[in-house]
């Protein structure tokens, strides 16, 4: 899977539930909420004051290593 800032969080989690740790590590503890699963990474990062590019880079590195 290739992740972008427009990728929906739920799609990332559905692809590999182990990615939840990346979201939890930056304070996104609402992963079970239906609204959060439908948010893009960019939208969620804006709400949580996190650099979306950094999270996307980490997620893509994780998927590349699998």
Nearest to 19 by CA among 7, 47, 35: 7
Is the per-residue pLDDT at 46 higher than 90? yes
Domain boundaries, the chain: 9-64
DSSP state, 7?
S
Give the pLDDT score at 61. Answer: 98
Share of the chain above pLDDT 70, in %: 100
Provide the mean pLDDT of the chain. Answer: 93
The label of the residue with tokens 């990728």 reads: 7
Is the per-residue pLDDT at 52 higher than 90? yes
pLDDT digits (tens, 9 = 90+) for 14-43: 999 999 999 999 888 888 888 888 999 999
37-55 in b/e form (b: 16+ CB < 10 A) is bebbbbbbbeeeebebeeb
Work out the average pLDDT over 8-19: 95
């Amino acid at each position: 899977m290739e992740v972008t800032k427009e990728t929906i969080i739920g799609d990332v989690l559905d692809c590999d539930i182990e990615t939840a740790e990346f979201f939890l590590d930056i304070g996104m503890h609402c992963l079970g909420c239906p609204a959060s699963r439908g948010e893009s990474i960019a939208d969620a990062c804006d709400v949580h004051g996190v650099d979306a590019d950094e999270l996307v880079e980490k997620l893509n590195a994780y998927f590349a290593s699998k």
